[in-house]
Amino acid sequence: MADAFPLNPGSIVVMDRGYNDYELFGQWTDQNIYFVTRLKDNAAYEVLAEGPLPANPNILSDQLIRFSGEKAQRDCPSLLRRVAVWDALNERRACC
């Protein structure tokens, strides 16, 4: 259903991790549409670069990644940004 909505370049889409459509992620990236989602625990990716951390202590990492699974890499070959934060309410690490 997510691909049924027309989006303009620069749009930002936020969704739950229950919806991982790597082909759609690749299309959005090609169209300059930004998205935020939590990666599934079993998502295969490689870290290409580590970004500097801001002064905010809740930001644990800021990485440039690429999916490494065969299908995910084919459907979404783009470089993506992965940010890990500390979720103080649930006392756990969360990654997007």
How many domains does the chain divide into? 1
In a domain, 2, yes or no: no
Residue 95: phi and psi, rounded to 5, are: -120, 140
In a domain, 87, yes or no: yes
pLDDT tens string 5-20: 889 999 999 987 767 8
The confidence band for 96, taking pLDDT boundaries of 50, 70 and 90, is: low
In a domain, 47, yes or no: yes
In a domain, 35, yes or no: yes
pLDDT at 76: 95
Q: Whole domain around residue 73: which residue ranges? A: 8-95
In a domain, 51, yes or no: yes
pTM value?
A: 0.83
In a domain, 1, yes or no: no
pLDDT at 4: 76
In a domain, 55, yes or no: yes
- Token output for 61: 């990492």
pLDDT at 74: 95
Identify whether the C-beta of residue 17 lies closer than 8 Å to the C-beta of residue 41: no
Considering only residues 8 and 4, tell me which one the structure prediction assigns the higher pLDDT.
8
